[in-house]
Every structure is written in C-alpha cells, then in structure tokens.
Chain A
Amino acid sequence: MDLFLGIDVGSVSTNLVLLDPAGEPYLTPLYLRTQGRPIAVLQQGLALLREQLSSRDRVCAVGTTGSARFLAGVLVGADIVKNEITAHAVAALHLVPDVRTIFEIGGQDSKIIILRDGIVVDFAMNTVCAAGTGSFLDQQAFRLNLSIEEFGALAKDATNPVRIAGRCTVFAESDMIHKQQMGHPLPDIIAGLCEALVRNYLNNVGKGKEILPPVVFQGGVAANLGMRAAFEKVLKTEIIVPPYFNVMGAYGAALLARDYAKEGGQTSFRGFQVATLQFQPRSFECKGCSNACEVIEIREGKRVLARWGDRCGRWGSSVTGAEEVNEEAKSIS
C-alpha cells in the first residue's frame, strides 16, 4: 500500500503516524516519550514501524513537525518540514472540517488556533505563562500517586471545586498543597486545579480571541477528563476531542506529506534503514563575523547531513557534501 509518514518530535513526546491514501491511520499511531533523546527515540519509532510493515508497503512521502522538525527532517529525508501550528490545524480540519477554534495543550506548549471557513485566521502560543501544563499535570498525578487517567477522572466526582491560584504552576502547586492540608477532598482540589489551568489558558493564550464552536481540544492534555469538563463549564459549549488527539501534529504532517505526493512530488525519504544509522551531532561557534553564531552540525559517518544556526547562511547553504568545506569547518571551530 502507498503510505504517508508524519513525524512530530516535540519536547515531551515523539509521535509517528502512517496514513493510507484515504487519510486514515494505517497502523496504530506511535506515541513515544522523547526523554531528551530525539534522535534515538525517532530511530526507535522507525524500527517499530518497520516491524509491522509488509514488503508491499511503500512510504511515498514524509512530513515532520514539532520543535525538532528540522533535525527530524534531515535524519529521515523529509519532503515537508512544517511548524506545529499549521500541522495541528491541518489535522483538526481533516477530522472536524467545520472546526472554528482549536485548543492544543501539549507537554510544554499551549496554543489556540482560530479558523474561519477552513483557513487559519489567527493563532497564539503561550508566551509568558500557561506553559508546561501537560508536564505539570503529570507531575501532580505522580505526587498524588495516581495515574494520569485516574487523576483526570477524579475531577468528575467533585461536588464543590476549590479555587486554586493558577497564575503559574509554581503558585498553583503550593496553593494546591495548602488546600490539601486544609482538608479539602481530593476530587474538589483536582477539579479546582483544572479550572485554574483552564482559566489561565483562556486568559493568557486565548486572550482577546473570539472562541466560536465547534471547539476541538487536542494535545496530550485533552485526555484529561477534568480539563475537558472545566473547558465545557467555562465556555458552555461542547468540546470535541478527536480520535488520535495526542498525535495530531504527526497526523497533520502526514496529511501534508500526502498532499505533496498528490501534487506529484518525489519523496526524499531515506528509508527505514535510518533506524540503524549512526548520527553524530556537534556544534561550534562560527568566527566569520561578530555575530558569533552557534552552528549545529549533523553528520552521518563522515558525511555532513546538515548545518544550521548561522544567521548569514554561510554554513547552512554550504552543505552539498563538499569536503573542503568540512575542512574549513574544522579550522574555524
């Protein structure tokens, strides 16, 4: 079967989605923890996919997204490298074609995307706060010795949610502990915490934006029933959590790859053998001018796959396998 691969390498999770030509996931999407080792985890993901594919399957195009999209794109030979805001919007539009608002809360980032008539007209990402909501919820569940699923579900039993100071997670945690020491029941505290995070999200990320239904809620945090309920309570509208809500970036990247192939693009996918190659990243400071850019370089064996980080393009544009350039890099670093 002709397949389209989408890869989202984020700060917390690395996701891979394989789509069939109809835009349906061909295998179960992979959701792996990045654990600060994007290259190794990406290779692990590719190896897992390869095991499940038959010899008749063929990857026709690849898209990458997420904060490590350039890195992932270089390693696998991506045809499309897209920012996560666009990738998330593309995926949501595919699953809920009339969507007008997208809430996306992941491990580190939270975003709001406003769409009208099927195109993105506005977006915002967390700036000064509302960051790390997913990681914070994880941490609180861990502190209470609950799984993240149990944690979210507990909020449903709340009778009287307490008000938690939610400006930032440091304050939220200390206020939460305070409320526990005061003797409030756990479900009320968790529900209160979810409401605080939702309030914070709407005030800091969604500030000034017109939130119209249908609202799609995606990203890892969308699994949390408490957060979903808190959104519904504040906005008084139904919140749609799409299937594959936690791999929407990779889903979107795969859809973009499919479009690329549809328009006749030839893939530069380097094949699943990437899973077993050795990559060496390194960085050096360019001494070419006063900017002193930190240039990052990825090598596979002796071959330089890519360089980036330089402002002027001296290194970035010089990667076409020319060995003398590599020598120059050595002498400069």
Chain B
Amino acid sequence: MKITYPHMGNLYIVIRALLTSLGLDLVLPPPTSNRTVELGVRYAPEFACFPLKLNLGNFLEARELGADTILMAGGVGPCRFGYYAQVQREILRDLGVSMEMVVLEPPDTHWSELKDKIRWLVGDRSWWEIIKAIRFAWYKARAVDLVEARVLYLRPRVFEPFELESGYREALRKIDQAASKRELDSVVKGFFRFSNRLPRRSGSLLRVGLVGEIFTVLEPFANYDLERRLGLLGVEVTRSIFLSAWINEHLFGGLLRVKGTKHVKKLAAPYLNFFVGGHGRETVGSTVDFARQGYDGVVHVAPFTCMPEIVAHSVLPSVTKDYGIPTLTFYLDEQSGEAGIQTRLEAFVDLISARRERVRKEKH
C-alpha cells in the first residue's frame, strides 16, 4: 500500500510525520504546479471549486509516482467539500485509474467511522502508538506554524526578502526531516535566531488580516501567493487560520491552549448566526476580530463559486459599515489572473494607507 494525500500549504509535513511514524509507506504528490492545475481542470467539472481541481491533479501526479491509495478528508454541512472525495473517486474510476480512496470523515461528528478507518489503515498497532504518532504530528504542525507566523511578521520588515525566503524554505525542510520533538524545538529556535539577525526597518506597518476558506488561505499556489505579495508591499499579514489551531479544534476537541476559532464564531453574531458550512462563520467572525484589534484591512479569499464564503462576503459590508474596516474579496480559480490580483492588492494597500493617514491627522 502506497498512500498519497493532497497538498494544502505545508500540511504535507504534518501528515508525513503522522503516517511514517505509523510505519506506513507514502508517496507525496509533487508540489502543486501549473501541471497539477492542467490535469485537475481537464477532468474536473467546470464549476467544481478550485480545491477539488487541485486535489485531483495531485492524485494523478502521485499516481504517476506509484501511489495506489488516497487519503482524503470528508466534511459535513452545506459546503460541497463533504461530497468531493466521492466525486473524485468516481472521476478517477471513469479515467480507469484504480486507486483506493480512504475518506476520513470529520472526527467531531463521525468519531466511530474515523476510528474504523484508522484501524483499517494501521492494522494491529496499539492505540498508544497511534496517539504517540498523532502527538508527534501535532508538534510538527506547531513548529510549522511558528515559523510561518514569524515569516509573515518579518517579510515586510527585512531588507533582503530573498534571504528570509531561503531561510524559511530551509527551516521547513528541517522540520520535515526532524525525528524528535527535541530536534523540532532546535530547528524552530535556530530559525528564530537566524531571522532575528536579518537587518530590518523599524516603525509601524500596515496590518492586514487574511480570512476565508481554509484551503485557499493555506495554499499559496491557490491564492497566487497573496501573503508574499502583501508582505513585499510592506504589509504585515495575520492569518485567521493556522493548521495547528484547526487540528486542535477538530482532532483534540479544543483541549490544548492554542488560539483557535471558538471565540471568532461567537463574534460572527449578530451578522451571521448560523453554520453556513465551510468557514463562512469564521470569516465573518475573524473580520470582526481583526477590526476590533485595530487592523487596517482584511483580505478575504475563497474558491470561485464557494457558497459559504459567498454568504460571508454578502455579510461583510455591514461589518465594514459598523467597524470602518475595509475588506477586499478574491474569488480564486484557474481563471484568476496574476496581474489583476497584483493591481487590486496594490490599490487596496493605497486605500488602507490613505485611511490610516487620515485617522492620524484627525488625532493631531
């Protein structure tokens, strides 16, 4: 059995740690590229959302490298994602690609089903071993997130962005290879030491919150590298979703003390009081959260045709009205143009900096 799974930002590091410590054999798809998009778009329904197309491309590329089993997440609620693993399975079958598809349903609603799937995957390993593997994967998720957050903070500040990027890639590679928690801690510490040495400018910067659907937020290929573009425009970006927070909430029932989305869900009221699927409610709540923290603006990303985010998008103008926080929404798919995204981002940065200037003048 050679297992593969789709890419979502740096998730591959976490899942690789989990599966290899359970002794499973895996084949990682090549990093998502234009070829992945081409493959996915060719075989996916036109109006399926971007994540489905990229996943499909990942599977087909992994297949070329010898993968025969796919690990895919399921989902609940009005978001179509819950249905995607099934659709992907059918598409692959129609293509004559014989791959086993193991769908892991969300643990908070389908615990026993998940348990059975895990058993099937790992055979007769003890639960203690499984828990140890999960714990180790969790440490990796934390390490990745700490490094990512640091890069988001530093990107607009350093004079040599290229050095920061190569240090970042190096740190990710080391985290991926690390075999113990001790090693992980030292990689993270090492990265912080390295990044603290980079010469940087001082002064307060524009701050933008990034909200939206989890895949498009976490996968730089899907969002046309928004975080980096903003960083290079001199904006500090704060992500509303980090992998570890997601894992904590859905896998550990929020037991660990990591800043999660619980309080954010509450903040969505009175704008959006219901679960609309996906991350719709978190999008609205996080926007309120960023507004209250005095952020200069919010960038909202979603796959084109994403229903939960369309609901959230239609609610955002009232948040803007009440809190005066500008928002900019991008719907992303393979048709999005880089030039258009860059232009809108630059204009948005002009907008929020003019706004900040105005506020500053009024205070004096």
**Do A and B form a real pair?**
yes
A309-330 vs B, Cβ < 8 Å mask (1 yes, 0 no): 0011110010000000000000
B355 near A311: Cβ-Cβ < 8 Å: no
Segment among B129-137, B159-167, B244-252 that sits at the interface with chain A: B159-167
Q: Does B228 contact A (CB under 8 A)?
A: yes
In the complex, how many angstroms separate the beta carbon of B330 from the nearest chain A beta carbon?
9
Chain A residue contacts of B304, Cβ below 8 A:
128
A275-302 vs B, Cβ < 8 Å mask (1 yes, 0 no): 0000000000000011110000000000
Main secondary structure of the interface of A (DSSP, over half): loop
The answer, among B161, B331, B343, B350, for a CB contact under 8 Å with A127, is B331
Chain A residue contacts of B113, Cβ below 8 A:
none
B165 near A121: Cβ-Cβ < 8 Å: no
A313 near B354: Cβ-Cβ < 8 Å: no
The answer, among B31, B160, B344, for a CB contact under 8 Å with A290, is B31
B161 near A313: Cβ-Cβ < 8 Å: yes
Chain A residue contacts of B161, Cβ below 8 A:
312-313, 317
Q: Specify which of B166, B169, B326, B351 lies most central, judged by the most chain A CB atoms within 10 Å of its CB.
A: B351
B339 near A67: Cβ-Cβ < 8 Å: yes
In the complex, how many angstroms separate the beta carbon of A36 from the nearest chain B beta carbon?
15
Chain A residue contacts of B355, Cβ below 8 A:
119, 121
Within 8 A of B (CB), among A81-138: 82-86, 117, 119-123, 125, 127-128
When A127-B331, A289-B169, A317-B162 are in contact, do A121 and B326 touch as well, CB less than 8 Å? Answer: yes
B350 near A86: Cβ-Cβ < 8 Å: yes
A314 near B162: Cβ-Cβ < 8 Å: yes
Q: Does A208 contact B (CB under 8 A)?
A: yes
CA of A119 to CA of B347 in the docked complex: distance in angstroms? 12
Q: Does B203 contact A (CB under 8 A)?
A: no
Q: Does B346 contact A (CB under 8 A)?
A: yes
Q: How large is the interface on B (under 10, 10 to 19, 20 to 34, 35 or more residues)?
A: 20 to 34
Within 8 A of A (CB), among B9-38: 30-31, 33-34
The answer, among B33, B225, B343, B346, for a CB contact under 8 Å with A292, is B33
Chain B residue nearest to A292 in the complex (CB) = B33
Q: Does B190 contact A (CB under 8 A)?
A: no
Q: Does B257 contact A (CB under 8 A)?
A: no
A120 near B162: Cβ-Cβ < 8 Å: no
The answer, among A86, A127, A128, for a CB contact under 8 Å with B347, is A86
Q: How large is the interface on A (under 10, 10 to 19, 20 to 34, 35 or more residues)?
A: 20 to 34
Chain B residue contacts of A117, Cβ below 8 A:
358
B165 near A123: Cβ-Cβ < 8 Å: no
Q: Does B199 contact A (CB under 8 A)?
A: no
Q: Does B317 contact A (CB under 8 A)?
A: yes
Q: Does B96 contact A (CB under 8 A)?
A: no
CA of A276 to CA of B339 in the docked complex: distance in angstroms? 28
Q: Does B340 contact A (CB under 8 A)?
A: yes
CA of A10 to CA of B314 in the docked complex: distance in angstroms? 32
B344 near A125: Cβ-Cβ < 8 Å: yes
Chain B residue nearest to A317 in the complex (CB) = B162
When A119-B355, A123-B351, A312-B165 are in contact, do A83 and B343 touch as well, CB less than 8 Å? Answer: yes
When A86-B350, A208-B317 are in contact, do A67 and B33 touch as well, CB less than 8 Å? Answer: no
Chain A residue nearest to B228 in the complex (CB) = A311
The answer, among A86, A120, A125, A311, for a CB contact under 8 Å with B225, is A311
CA of A126 to CA of B83 in the docked complex: distance in angstroms? 31
Q: Specify which of B34, B160, B162 lies most central, judged by the most chain A CB atoms within 10 Å of its CB.
A: B162
In the complex, how many angstroms separate the beta carbon of A16 from the nearest chain B beta carbon?
20
CA of A85 to CA of B342 in the docked complex: distance in angstroms? 11
A67 near B160: Cβ-Cβ < 8 Å: no
CA of A311 to CA of B232 in the docked complex: distance in angstroms? 10
CA of A190 to CA of B354 in the docked complex: distance in angstroms? 41
B347 near A83: Cβ-Cβ < 8 Å: yes
A85 near B343: Cβ-Cβ < 8 Å: yes
B354 near A123: Cβ-Cβ < 8 Å: no
Chain B residue contacts of A121, Cβ below 8 A:
326, 351, 355
In the complex, how many angstroms separate the beta carbon of B353 from the nearest chain A beta carbon?
10
Chain B residue nearest to A123 in the complex (CB) = B347
B325-351 vs A, Cβ < 8 Å mask (1 yes, 0 no): 010000100000001101110111011
B344 near A122: Cβ-Cβ < 8 Å: no
CA of A317 to CA of B158 in the docked complex: distance in angstroms? 13
Within 8 A of B (CB), among A239-274: none
A313 near B165: Cβ-Cβ < 8 Å: yes
A-B pairs, 4 with minimum CB distance: A85-B347, A83-B346, A313-B162, A290-B31
Known: A85-B344, A85-B350, A128-B304. 7 other contacts (CB 8 A): A83-B342, A85-B343, A121-B326, A123-B347, A208-B314, A290-B30, A313-B165
Residue contacts A-B, CB under 8 angstroms, 13 given: A85-B346, A86-B346, A86-B350, A117-B358, A120-B350, A122-B351, A123-B347, A123-B351, A125-B344, A291-B33, A311-B228, A313-B232, A317-B160
